Structure 1
Amino acid sequence: MLLSTATEASTATATTTTTTKATPTSSPDKKKKKRIVVAVGGNALQRRGDRLTIENMLKAAAEMAPTLAELAKENELVLTHGNGPQVGELALERSAASFDVLGAESMGQIGYVLAQALQSAGCTAIPILTQVVVDQYSDAFKDPSKFVGPIYGSIEAQALAQSLGWTVKPDGEYFRRVVPSPPPMEILQIEAIKTLIEHSPGTLTIACGGGGIPVARVPANPQTLIGVEAVIDKDACGAKLANEIEADGYIILTDGGGIWENFGKPDAREMKEATPEYLKGTKTGEKFPGSMGPKVQALIDFVERSNKPGVWAAVGDLKDCAKIVAGEEGTFIRRDVKNGVTWRTGKKGPPRKESKNPPPF
C-alpha cells in the first residue's frame, strides 16, 4: 500500500506543503516461492513395452505435464531431463554422427515435446540448448561406462565395434555400446537460465537436457569450443545446475520410488530421510552403478555443495511428484536428520524384476 502524508510548516514569509511517499511493504501473507530443479529420466517419455515414437512421447509428456504445471505455479521450477532412449535411437539412425550433435538433437526433440505438453497444461516453458564443458582428458574417456543403444549378441557386437569403431561391453548376457560419461564442469548458458528465472516469473525453464551437450575448451585457445564424443550423466548435471542457481531443492524422478534398503526382498524398507554422511557410510547405491548409484551421488553432491541453509534433495516416483514436494513420498537427503536416517512405515518394497533381457536402451 502507498501512504501519502501532508506536512504543513509555517514561516514568517511562506507556507510550504510537502508530500512524501512511504516505502511499500510486502504482504506478510505472501509466501516466498521455493526454487526447485526437477530431473525427469528419459525413460519417462518411453513407457515400458511402447515403441519409441513421437506419438508415444507426446502422450507420456501430456500425462506428466499437469502435475509439473501445477508445481510451477507454486514454485520457481526448472526442469531437466534424460535422453538415453532418444539419443540411442538417433545413434542407430545416424551412426556417423558424433554424440555432441546427437545430444543436441535429442535436447531439441525432447524440449519441444515437453514444452508443447506444458503449454497445453497452461504453463509456458522455454527449452534452452545448453552446452556443458567437460575435461576431455579425464579418466571417463579411458574407461567408457555409459550404455547407449540396443542389446547385441557377442558376434554382432564385435562386428559393429570393428566396423564402426565402437566400444562395447557386457550388459548381463548381452553386449551394448558404451561411451564416456565425464562429470560436468561448467554450464555455459547458466546466466541465460538465471535471467529467465529471475525476470520471467511463471515461465518454466527447461535446461541441461540429457546432461547437456558435451563440449571441451581447446587448451591452446580456451575460448574455442569443440564437441566431445560423450554423454554426461543428467543427474550429475542437474545437481550442478541446482547449485549454480542456488536452488532450495533438487528432485530426481524415477520409475522405482525412493531409496530402499534390501530392495526386492521381504524385509525391504524405504528411507524417509537420510544425511549425506549416512548414505556414504553405508555405500548406498554402489551395488547399482548403472541406475541408483549415480542418482544417490548426485543428491549428495547437491546438498554438500550448497551454501544455502535448509536445502534438500529427494528421489521418488514420477507419479508421486506432487507428494514428494509435500514430503509425503520419496526419500529426502538433508544435512540434519536424527540418527542419520529415518524410515517410512507401512510400505512394502516393490518386487525386484529378474529378466535375462535388459531394456532396449
Structure 2
Amino acid sequence: MLADRLIVAVGGNALQRRGERLTIENMLKASADMAPTIAALAKEHEVVLVHGNGPQVGELALERSAATFDVLGAESTGQIGYVLAQALSSVGCTAVPIVTQVVVDPQSEAFRNPTKFVGPVYGPKEAHALAESLGWIVKPDGEYFRRVVPSPPPMEILQVEAVRTLLEHSPDVLPIACGGGGVPVSRVPSRPETLQGVEAVIDKDACASKLALELEADGLIILTDGGGIWKNFGKVDAQEMAQVTPEYLLGSKAGKKFPGSMGPKIEAAVNFVENSKNRQTAYAIIGDLKDAAKMLSNEEGTIIKDDVPSRVVWRERHEEGTPKPPKLTRDPPKYG
C-alpha cells in the first residue's frame, strides 16, 4: 500500500509524555526518539509533517496569562518546529518548519462550546480548583482532566502554496506545516486582505485533514500514543479495528463513543477519505507512533478506506499481544 504523498500528523503529547515535565531537554529527547520513524517514511514517500501543540501551548498560557492564544500558538509552533527539524537533521533528513496561519470564523459555534484540550493533565480535585480560581473550563481526558479552549474548524490554510512549492521543487526537503493546527486568524470584514489573531487553538488533526485534501494527498496518517480505533477500549473484551469504512464509523457513531481526543482523529480521517478527489484509493490510518513502520502494511493500526469487506475487519491477537492476520466477521458487533 505505497503512496506518493502522505500527510503525517503527530500529537503534541508525543513531545510531552504524560507525567514528564515540559522541558526543552525532554522535548529534545522525545523528538530524537521520533525522528528515525518520520525519516524512514520520508525516504519512501513524499511527506508533510503536522504536529500538535496542546501541552506546550497550555504550559505557555500558564506562564504568560496576558498573551493571546494566537500569539502563544505561533510561539509554540516555532519552538516545536525547531526541535523537530534539529532531530530530523541528526538522522539525515532536512526539514523546513513553516509557521502556518489558518483562517477561522470568529463567530463559530466552537466559541460557545470549547473542546480543545491544552496544557497538562490534572486530577479531579486540582482541575476543579483551577477552574474555580482561574475561570477555566475543564473536561475529562480519559481518566484525567484538562483545560479546554475554543477550537473552530479550519477554513483556509494561507501558506498551502509554500508547502506545495517545497514538495514539487525541493523533493529532498520535508515540510513541517500547520503546527498546532495552525495559528488561528480571521479576515477583517471591511478589509479582507487584513488578518487579525483569534483567541483559539485549532485541532491539528482537522487541519491535517484539510491540508491533505488541498494537496491531494494519497494518505493521511494520524499517529497517537494509544494504537488504532478500538471497540470497548480498555475493557476485557476490547477489539481493535484493522480496517474500516467511513460508512461504518459514521453509522456506529464511533467518534462520539471515544473519550478524550480520539473522536476528532476519527472525524478528521473520515473527512479526508470521504472528500478526497481520489476517494477510491484514498485512505487514512490511525495508529501508535511506535508502530508507524508497520501501519502501511496494516500489521498495526486502523486503516479507514472505502474498500473493506463487511465494512469492518477486526484484528485478532495472540495472548502475548502479537498480531494475527485480520479475521473477517459477518456481523460486526456494535459499539458498547
TM-score normalised by the chain length of structure 1: 0.83
2:10–2:51: 8 Å Cα contact kept in structure 1? yes
1:316 equivalent in structure 2: 287
1:23-78 CA deviation, whole Å, 9 max, x = no partner? xxxxxxxx996100100000101123221110111111111111211211110011
CA distance in 2, matches of 1:320, 1:285: 22
Alignment partners' CA distance in 1, 2:192 and 2:152: 19
Larger Rg: 1
Query: Contact between 1:248 and 1:311, CA under 8 Å: does it hold in 2?
Result: yes
1:153 deviation in Å?
A: 4.8
Matched, 1:341 2:315: no
Q: For residues 12 and 116 of structure 2, what CA distance do their matches in structure 1 show?
A: 14
2:131 is aligned to: 157
**CA drift at 1:174:** 8.2
Runs of 4+ aligned structure 1 residues displaced above 6 Å come to: 172-175
In structure 1, runs of 5+ residues without a counterpart are 1-30, 162-166, 351-361
Residue 331 of structure 1 corresponds to 302
Q: By how many angstroms is 1:96 displaced?
A: 0.2
1:23: which partner in 2?
Answer: none
1:269, 1:347 within 8 Å by CA — same for their partners in 2? no
Q: Which amino acid aligns with 1:97?
A: A
- Cross-structure match for 2:226: 256
Partner residue of 1:95 out of 62, 65, 79: 65
TM-score with structure 2 length normalisation? 0.89
Secondary structure in structure 2 of the residue aligned to 1:301: helix
Kindly indicate whether the alpha-carbon contact (under 8 Å) linking 2:139 and 2:148 is maintained by their aligned counterparts in 1: no
8 A Cα contact 1:88 1:148, kept in partner: yes
| Percent sequence identity over aligned pairs | 68
Mapping of residues 39-50 of structure 1, within 5 Å: 39-50=9-20
The residue identity in structure 2 corresponding to 1:280 is L
User: Which whole-Å CA distance do the structure 1 matches of 2:3 and 2:119 have between them?
Assistant: 40
RMSD (Å) for aligned C-alpha atoms = 2.0
SS of residue matched to 2:186:
strand
Distance of aligned partners of 1:345 and 1:192 in 2 relative to their CA distance in 1, 3 Å threshold:
same
Superposition deviation, residue 289 in structure 1: 4.9
What residue is the counterpart of 1:291 in the other structure? 261
Between the aligned partners of 2:178 and 2:62, the Cα distance in structure 1 is 23
Do 2:7 and 2:221's aligned partners in 1 also have CA atoms closer than 8 Å?
Answer: yes
**How far, CA to CA, are the matches of 2:3 and 2:231 in structure 1?**
33
CA contact (8 A) 1:259 1:270 kept: yes
The alignment partner of 1:55 has SS state of helix
Report 1:106-255 matches (<5 A).
Answer: 106-150=76-120, 151=122, 152-161=126-135, 167-171=136-140, 176-255=146-225
Question: Which residue identity lines up with residue 276 of structure 1 in the other structure?
Answer: P
The alignment partner of 2:162 has SS state of helix
Amino acid corresponding to residue 100 of structure 1 in structure 2: D
1:358 paired residue number = none
